Amino acid sequence: MNKEQVADILQEIGILLELKGENPFKTRAYQNGARALEGLAEPLEKVVAEGRLGQIPGLGDALQQKITQLVTTGRLAYYEDLKASLPAGLLTLLEIPGLGPKKAKALYEKLGVTNLETLKAACEQGRVAELAGFGKKTQDNILQGMEFREKYASRHHLHQALTVAEPILDALRKHPDVTRCSTAGSLRRSKEVIGDIDFVVSSKNPIEVIDYFVKQPSVLTILARGDTKASVIVEAGIQADLRVVSDGEYPFALAYFTGSKEHNIAMRQRAIARGLRLNEYGLFRSNEETRDPALLEPCETEDEIYQKLGFYYVPPELREDHGEFVAAEQGSIPRLIEWTDLKGSLHNHSTWSDGRQSLDEIVQTMVDLGLSYWAVTDHSQASFQAHGLRPERVREQIVAIREINKKLENEGIDFRLLTGTEVDILGTGDLDFDDELLAELEVVVASVHSGFTASEAEMTRRIIKAVENPNVHMIGHLTGRLLLEREPYKVDQHAVIDACAATGTWIELNASPSRFDLDWRLWQYATSKGVKCVINCDAHRAEHAGFLRLGAGIARKGWLTKKDVINVLPLPDLRRELAKKKSGAK
């Protein structure tokens, strides 16, 4: 087991102990242990093998033993016994906002609540409200939290869906009976959240393909299985649908099942207006519904379908009936950004605040990925829950980054870290650091992390005040939304975009799959005002560098091209752009 897996288990042990009502010092020891491991700058396996666990501050003997066991055997009897001593559903109660271990313990002991079903029943019977320390308001909040959870249980983050879909697509590609295959639906359109995963395959032997599909290792349950289609539930509880068609039908099936439904409807209407019929089986010279092969207008690719309807090709990300038909008719569909255009990310964290990677590890990862630069923008002091930095620490970090860059230069490595901060926008709209410190940094991202309940006018005023600061390069995650988890706070996004346009401030497209903020629907407005986009990973771990690809997918949905995006620039050009706002140049 690696450090992150071990840290997760220690964290869970802490929670389980709290649920059992153990002494708080003991529970905290596990949480601190988890934190200490997360901050480790080298592989845990190495530390254990060399017998150096005892040198990590905050790890007592008992914890060291348990960590060693986990690292070397991957198991820990103490943890398994602890888990078995409590009902399995109890931990899921903690997924309800506002329900911590203390409350969960009381619900379990006083009301016999062991899972979400029994919790819901207890709330509906009013028994939770009567419990000491709970009350009607808490009960209502719990019920509301459960409703929210149910509403979103069947929607998934794009990243989750991609993680299960890609190995299946790879497997399909390799199967000898598969001629062509692709994902379709919302996944292919790169939607920010996904209902189910869709695959389209062409084959002469559909039964074989379906047989193979339902036997994929990630498949948990088979929901339905026919001669040409199947539906399964895969890991993470996501549904996946497969359709198998003949290769002649493939482009039509792919276009149809890619959607969106709104895009399909407009395509059908276009066909009808031209005396044709378009459906999932083909494009037919007919005035009524048909599948008659004699009437077929054959098309080898989706591109040809668009051509036959008098359109230029529409990339899947744009198929939302969001202006693409006018552009497809005029031939003004832009050449959209590609994720390989991106040269680095300008909003990221390190172990100096709440990130899991040290500066050295970041350099190693990003050099390996072939990126050119990476800004380190740790949190500022007001974000104490995220270990925000005090000004002296920021200055120490600047020195550390300069040293690393000097080393890179000496070694002839074409990569640089950039100094920076993700500075909190405070309740007043003032920034958490003074201008003098901000001016010393290469990259300043300003974000809201508190006071989410402010009125729309108040929040808009706060953010615009930050936008007007000449040291602020860009606004981070403008609405604070966490997809499937937390609604955006209220803010007049158009007003903020206008202020950014007036001041030469950029807006982040936060590529973390739970944010994708600014929303893709607003980028056409932003670029029409001349506002530039920065596609940022907001990385807290090495693997988050992969978010650049997801962010580019969302950027494509927002019609963004290379010229709209700042972090496609090589470093010297980026430095020039970073200097512009401060100098008053436009």
Residues that bind Zn ion (CB under 5 A): 447
Indicate whether 183 belongs to the interface with ligand DGT (CB under 6 A): no
Residue 185 within binding range of ligand DGT, rule CB under 6 A: yes
| List 196, 317, 432, 519, residue binding ligand DGT (CB under 6 A) | 196
| Interaction between residue 236 and ligand DGT (CB under 6 A) | no
- Give 193's contacts (C-beta < 8 A, 6+ positions apart): 155, 156, 157, 158, 186, 483, 484
Identity of the residue numbered 472:
V
Residue type at position 314: V
The answer to whether the CB of 496 falls within 8 A of the CB of 506 is no
SS (H, E, C) 322-353: CCHHHHHHHCCCCCCCCHHHCCEECCECCCCC
Closer CB to ligand DGT, residue 182 or residue 186? 186
Residue 194 within binding range of ligand DGT, rule CB under 6 A: yes
Phi then psi dihedrals of residue 488, to 5 deg:
-65, 150
Please, which residue, 108 or 257, has the CB nearer to ligand DGT?
257
Query: With respect to ligand DGT, which residue has the nearer C-beta, 264 or 350?
Result: 264
Q: Which residue is nearest to Zn ion (CB)?
A: 447
260 lies in the binding site for ligand DGT (CB under 6 A): yes
Structure tokens given for 244: 């198998």
Give 227's DSSP letter: S
Contacts of 55 (CB under 8 A, 6+ apart): none
501 binds ligand DGT (CB under 6 A): no
If binding is defined by CB under 6 A, does position 469 make contact with ligand DGT? no
Nearer to Zn ion, 419 or 447 (CB): 447
Residue 259 within binding range of ligand DGT, rule CB under 6 A: yes
Going by the DSSP 8-state scheme, the letter that residue 235 receives in this structure is: G
320 binds Ca ion per the rule CB under 5 A: no
User: What is the sign of the dihedral through the CA atoms of 82, 86, 88 and 90?
Assistant: negative
User: From the CB of 510, what's the least distance to Zn ion, in Å?
Assistant: 8
Residue 282 contacts ligand DGT per CB under 6 A:
no
Binding partner of 447, given Zn ion, ligand DGT, Ca ion, none, CB within 5-8 angstroms per partner class: Zn ion
Closer to ligand DGT by Cβ: residue 205 or 260: 260
Q: Which alpha helices (H) appear in 58-188, and where do they start and end?
A: 61-73, 77-84, 90-93, 101-111, 116-124, 127-130, 135-153, 158-174, 185-188
Q: Which long-range contacts (CB under 8 A, 24 or more apart) does 107-115 make?
A: 107/131, 108/19, 114/87, 114/89, 114/90, 115/87, 115/88, 115/89, 115/90
**How many angstroms separate the first and last alpha carbons of the chain?**
51
To the nearest whole angstrom, how small is the minimum distance from the Cβ of residue 512 to ligand DGT?
A: 19
Residues 154-193 as x/- pattern, contact with Ca ion by CB under 5 A: -------------------------------xx-------
Find where tokens 């920034």 sit.
431
Cα dihedral value 539, 540, 542, 543, nearest 10: -70
> Whose Cβ is closer to Ca ion: residue 198's or residue 320's?
198
| 198 to 217: interface string for ligand DGT, x by CB under 6 A | x-------------------
Helix orientation angle between 3-19 and 24-38, rounded to the nearest 10 degrees: 170
What residues numbered 34-73 form the site for ligand DGT, per CB under 6 A? none
Q: Which listed option, Ca ion, ligand DGT, Zn ion, none, makes contact with residue 260 (CB within 5 to 8 Å by class)?
A: ligand DGT
Select 185 or 551, whichever has its Cβ closest to Ca ion: 185
What are the CB-based long-range contacts (under 8 Å, 24+) for 289-298?
A: 296/248, 298/248
Residue 198 is a binding residue for Ca ion (CB under 5 A): yes
For Ca ion, the closer of residues 155 and 393 by Cβ is 155
Nearer of residues 186 and 351 to ligand DGT, judged by Cβ: 186
d(CA 557, CA 550): 11
The distance of closest approach from Cβ of residue 382 to Zn ion in the complex, given in angstroms and rounded to an integer, is 12
When CB distances are held under 5 to 8 angstroms depending on the partner's kind, the choice from ligand DGT, Zn ion, Ca ion, none that residue 215 binds is none
- Closest to ligand DGT by CB, 228 vs 358, is 228
CB of 386 to Zn ion, least distance (A): 8
Q: CA of 232: how far to CAs of 44, 179, 208, 213, in Å?
A: 38, 22, 16, 9
Nearest approach in angstroms of CB 204 to ligand DGT is 24
Q: Which of 212, 257, 523, 547 binds ligand DGT (CB under 6 A)?
A: 257
238-267 footprint of Ca ion as x/- string (CB under 5 A) = ---x--------------------------
Q: Which residues bind Ca ion (CB under 5 A)?
A: 185-186, 196, 198, 241
Q: Which residues bind ligand DGT (CB under 6 A)?
A: 185-186, 191, 194-196, 198, 256-257, 259-261, 264-265
